[in-house]
């Protein structure tokens, strides 16, 4: 469970899991198999598939397949409509050519619709969530003053961790 924790090949945990999985039939469970980039899912696939000699129909060389897709993403500037379109296209190709052969995907709706009898027999259920409601807080005068002052101070808060490029530009400008 939580297989997405093993998307980084450079960790000891990944190496140990790779040793456990290699040559065996395994089930990796994750709610978020693709978390950041397609290399996340590729790292997880390599836990049980040989990168240059996979058993996935039509994709014998996973290394070449994922490198080509990564190259397509790399050509686009992050955040642009073209970038998001490339991500969408690449995700579809990964789903159609790789994941459909190795992944079982289940959403809540699929479970409720296709496994209703089994779910009912076991007495299982998904909680029903209410629609969000707007809540307006009313503070006393002192709390309101503290809250407003805190918000104003946060507006002026600068921290390089949250905007590293801006911080680097400022540092570089200081040396010019």
Per-residue model confidence as pLDDT tens digits over 47-71: 888 899 999 999 999 999 999 998 8
Radius of gyration of the chain (CA): 24
Q: What is the pLDDT of residues 95-119, one digit of tens each?
A: 899 988 988 888 888 888 899 999 9
Burial 11-20, CB ≥16 within 10 A → b, else e? eeebeebeee
Nearest 10 degrees: Cα torsion 156, 157, 159, 164: -40
CA distance linking residue 43 with residue 21, whole number of Å: 13
Q: Two tokens at 125?
A: 């259920």
State if pTM tops 0.75.
no
Judge whether 112 and 126 are in contact, CB under 8 Å: yes
Residue-level pLDDT at 68: 92
- What's the pLDDT score for residue 141? 95
pLDDT beneath 50, residues of the chain: none
pLDDT at residue 28, rounded to an integer: 80
Residues in the chain: 176
Spatial separation of the C-alpha atoms in residues 107 and 31, rounded to whole Å = 10
């Amino acid at each position: 469970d939580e297989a997405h924790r093993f998307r980084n090949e450079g960790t000891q945990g990944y190496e140990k899991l790779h040793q456990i999985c290699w040559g065996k039939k395994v089930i990796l469970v994750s709610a978020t198999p693709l978390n950041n980039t397609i290399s996340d899912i590729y790292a997880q696939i390599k836990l049980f598939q040989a990168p240059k000699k996979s058993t996935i129909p039509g994709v014998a060389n996973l290394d070449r397949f994922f490198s080509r897709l990564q190259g397509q993403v790399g050509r686009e500037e992050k955040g642009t409509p073209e970038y998001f379109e490339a991500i969408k296209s690449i995700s579809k190709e990964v789903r159609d050519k790789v994941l459909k052969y190795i992944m079982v995907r289940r959403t809540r709706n699929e479970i409720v619709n296709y496994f209703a009898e089994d779910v009912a027999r076991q007495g299982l259920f998904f909680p029903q969530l209410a629609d969000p409601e707007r809540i307006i807080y009313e503070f006393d005068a002192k709390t309101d003053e503290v809250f407003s002052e805190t918000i104003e101070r946060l507006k002026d808060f600068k921290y390089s961790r949250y905007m590293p490029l801006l911080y680097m530009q400022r540092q570089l400008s200081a040396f010019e």
